[in-house]
Amino acid sequence: MATLLLGAAVALGSPSPAQKDGAPKAPDYLALASENAKEMLLLMDTNRNGKISKQEWMDFMAAEFDRLDIHKSGELDPRELMQSSVTVRRVRPQDAGK
């Protein structure tokens, strides 16, 4: 999750380099970040109002913390933190918030 959020922040804050003729087109980071934000909304929006409340955000992050805290110490050590492989996957609208 942290990687996803960091990637979205970097994508939103970084201008794309100028394109040269014949050079491969750079990815549209703004579009990618927008798509990730929509997918995150589907995952976190438990009351399905189209917005993420602070409580929904905190509940999601608490569940992710608990998942990573394999030693159940209440703290994440570097090894546990490196195990985070949260990626936003496609969520069907009918499954959002489950």
**What does the block give as tokens for 27?**
């990815």
Question: Rounded to 10 degrees, what is the CA torsion of 12, 2, 44, 65?
Answer: -170
Percent of the chain scoring above 70 in pLDDT: 64
Q: How many domains does the chain have?
A: 1
Tell me what pLDDT residue 35 has: 84
| Cβ neighbours of 33 (radius 10 Å) | 18
pLDDT confidence tier of residue 8, bands split at 50, 70 and 90: very low
Q: Identify which of 12-21, 24-33, 73-82 has the greatest average pLDDT.
A: 73-82
Task: Look up residue 76 and give its DSSP letter.
Answer: -
Specify the pTM. Answer: 0.54
- Domain assignment present for 21: no
Evaluate whether residue 37 is within a structural domain.
yes
Range of the domain at 32: 2-10+27-85
Instruction: Say what percent of the chain tops pLDDT 90.
Output: 32
